[in-house]
């Protein structure tokens, strides 16, 4: 996430229970904390990039957006490990 004149450009990966292809499972605690169904995974084949216009993203003091819990850190590490050697499709979306 980078601020540009007070705007934020974000990159996100979909979380889905119906997608096929390369996926990373979401830890049960993280799913519960986010209110996600039991069969959802992070789809790592595509990254969506767009200007975030909502109030929901609050940068942390270190500039990250990561929720401060071990499950979030483990999920981020698992996604990073799964991405080694992969080149996801980058899709620029309109706000």
The 10 Å Cβ neighbour count of residue 40 is 19
pLDDT given at position 85: 94
Contact 23, 44 (CB under 8 A): yes
pLDDT given at position 74: 83
Give the span between the Cα atoms of 61 and 64, in whole angstroms: 7
Give the span between the Cα atoms of 35 and 45, in whole angstroms: 23
Considering the entire predicted model, what is its pTM? 0.73
Give the span between the Cα atoms of 11 and 32, in whole angstroms: 23
Give the span between the Cα atoms of 54 and 31, in whole angstroms: 22
Rg (CA), the chain: 14
pLDDT given at position 4: 57
Q: What is the pLDDT of residues 1-48, one digit of tens each?
A: 555 566 778 888 999 988 778 999 998 888 888 889 998 999 999 999
Q: What is the pLDDT of residues 52-94, one digit of tens each?
A: 776 666 666 776 665 566 777 788 889 999 999 999 999 998 8
pLDDT given at position 35: 87
């Amino acid at each position: 996430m980078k601020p540009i004149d007070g705007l934020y450009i974000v990159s996100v990966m979909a979380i889905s229970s119906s997608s096929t292809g390369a996926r990373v499972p979401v830890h049960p605690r993280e799913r519960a904390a986010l209110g996600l169904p039991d069969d959802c995974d992070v789809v790592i084949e595509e990254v969506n990039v767009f200007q975030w216009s909502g109030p929901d993203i609050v940068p942390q003091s270190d500039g990250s957006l990561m929720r401060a819990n071990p499950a979030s850190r483990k999920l981020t590490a698992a996604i990073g490990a799964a991405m080694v050697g992969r080149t996801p499709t980058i899709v620029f979306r309109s706000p």
